[in-house]
Amino acid sequence: MGISTFDFTPDPISLLESNRNLGYTIEEAISDLIDNSISAKATNVSYEIHPNNGKPYFLLKDNGIGMSNLDNELVESFRLGSKNPLDERDPNDLGRFGFGMKTASLSQARILTVITKKKGCDTLAFSLDLNFIRDNGKWLLKKIDDEFYKAEFDFLKNLDSGTIIRWDDWDRAPKLEDDLLALNSQINDYLSVCFHRFIEKGISICCHDYSLESCSPIPFGEGASQFSKIPLAKNNKAKQTSYILQHPKNWEEDFENISRFNSFRLFDGFERQQGIYIYRCDRLLTPRGGWLGLIRKGNAAKLARVVIDYPNDADELWSLDITKTNASIPYEFKREITKLIDTTKKGSVRKIVRGNRNVNRSLSLNHSNIWKISDDREFNSYK
C-alpha cells in the first residue's frame, strides 16, 4: 500500500502578510539589512529616508561584493529561508536564517527592491511587490529596468560593486513628515550602539552624509573598570566579562542629563541600562541591557554591566530569534553567569557605598551651615 502525499505549498500572500508581523521595529529592521552589508564585506554603508511629498521611501546603500544572477544568486536572495541555519558558515557571517532582508523590509513596506552589481557584471534589479503577488496569486518577482530607479543605477555605476535596498509603498512609516525625519535621530542612536565595534574597526555607517560615531554600553577610558573575565565552560569560544562603572560623582560631565547620546545614559537612563550585553560576532544583540530574568533590576546593581561574546556557530545553543534581537541564556550557562552577576553586583554595591559616603562627607563639610560666619576681632564678636 503506497503512501498518500499532499502538496501544502503555502499561499504566497497569506504567508508574506503574516511575516510582516514578526516584531521588528524600524531600528531593528535597518540593523538586519546592515548585517547583510557587513557580511558582504562592505566598508561603507549609508541609509536615507526620503519624505518624497507624502510618498516616503527608504534606501540602504553599501559597497559590498554585490550579487549577480549567475546561478540565480539574486533571485535566490529573495527566497524565504535562503540559508539553512544549521549549515556551517563563515565566522564573520552575521546572517542566520536567510529571512532577514525579506522579513525586515516587509515589516515596514510593501515593496522591496534590490539593485545590485557584482564586479565585472551588469547592474541588476528585482522587486518583491506584495500588491503584485496578491493580484497574481503566485510567487513572482518583477525585473526592474534602470528607467525606474535611474539615481540608484547611476550610484552603482561609480562603484566596482555594491547593493542598494529600497522600500516603497512604505505603509508603516509615520504619516507626518516631521515625525518621519525625527526617526533619523532614533535610528542613529540605535545603530551607533549595535554596531559600535564595527565602527571602531573602521567601517563607515552613515545617515545620508552624516557619519555615526560608536557608542559602547561600556564607557571607555576611566568610565568603567573591568571586574572579571572568564570563558564559559563547555564552550571556550564564548566568554563573559564584567565591568563596574564609575560612581556618578566621578563623571567628567553630568552624563545622565546632557542631551548628547552617550555610553552612560543610552536609551533608558543610567540606572536602567544595568544588565547583560550579548554580542554575536561583535554585533550587539541586546543594546538595552537588562538581566534577562536572572536577577531583578535594582539600585544595588546600577553600576554593574556584564558582556557576553559568542560565535555564530553557537546560535542554536543561544536560541537566537529571526529578528536577531533576542537570545536566551542556555540553561547550562545560567549558574556560571548568575555567579558572575552576583559578584559584580557586590562590587557595584561597594562602589556605590564608597561614593555616597564621599558625597555625604563633602556635603557635611561644605553645606552644613545655613549662613556664613565671620569673626569680628575688633569688637570680639561673631556675625
* Cα distance between the two ends of the chain: 112
d(CA 266, CA 284): 14
| Domain boundary, last residue among 211, 239, 255 | 211
CATH code assigned at 185: 3.30.565.10
**Phi and psi at residue 221, to the nearest 5°:** 65, -130
The count of residues in the chain is: 383
Q: Which amino acid is at 93?
A: D
Looking at 39-151, which runs of residues are DSSP E strands?
44-50, 57-62, 111-117, 124-129, 142-143
Q: How confident is the model at residue 55 (pLDDT cuts 50, 70, 90)?
A: very high
Give me the half-sphere count of Cα atoms (radius 13 Å) on the Cβ side of residue 16. Answer: 26
In a domain, 253, yes or no: yes
Count the neighbouring beta carbons within 10 Å of the beta carbon of residue 346: 15
CATH code assigned at 249: 3.30.230
Same domain, yes or no: 159 and 233: no
In a domain, 291, yes or no: yes
Query: Is pLDDT of 63 > 80?
Result: yes
Query: Is pLDDT of 274 > 50?
Result: yes
Query: Is pLDDT of 320 > 90?
Result: no
pTM of the model: 0.85
Q: Which residues pair with 126 in a beta bridge?
A: 114, 143
In a domain, 355, yes or no: yes
d(CA 159, CA 119): 9
Q: How confident is the model at residue 268 (pLDDT cuts 50, 70, 90)?
A: confident
In a domain, 112, yes or no: yes
In a domain, 98, yes or no: yes
In a domain, 307, yes or no: yes
Specify the range with the lowest mean pLDDT, choosing from 147-151, 173-177, 251-255, 323-327.
323-327
Angle (nearest 5°) at CA 56 between 55 and 62: 140
Give how many domains the chain has, as a whole number.
2
| Domain boundary, last residue among 158, 179, 211 | 211
Same domain, yes or no: 34 and 104: yes
The string of pLDDT tens digits covering residues 248-258 is: 888 888 888 88
The string of pLDDT tens digits covering residues 134-157 is: 999 999 999 998 888 999 999 999
Least Cα distance to 127 among 173, 180, 175, 169 occurs for 169
Q: Strand, helix or coil at 108? A: coil
Same domain, yes or no: 133 and 268: no
Same domain, yes or no: 41 and 175: yes
Find where cell 557587513 sits. 38
Same domain, yes or no: 139 and 33: yes
Same domain, yes or no: 112 and 252: no
Q: How far is CA 367 from CA 251, 370, 375, in A?
A: 21, 7, 19
Same domain, yes or no: 207 and 318: no
Same domain, yes or no: 19 and 156: yes
Query: Is pLDDT of 96 > 70?
Result: no
In a domain, 43, yes or no: yes
Same domain, yes or no: 122 and 102: yes
Domain limits for position 141: 12-211
Same domain, yes or no: 51 and 82: yes
Q: Strand, helix or coil at 343? A: helix
Same domain, yes or no: 70 and 191: yes
| Domain boundary, last residue among 192, 211, 230 | 211
Query: Is pLDDT of 363 > 50?
Result: no
What b-and-e string marks burial along 244-263, b requiring 16 or more CB atoms within 10 Å of the CB? bbbbbeebeeebeeeeebbb
Find where cell 539589512 sits. 33
Same domain, yes or no: 246 and 350: yes
In a domain, 165, yes or no: yes
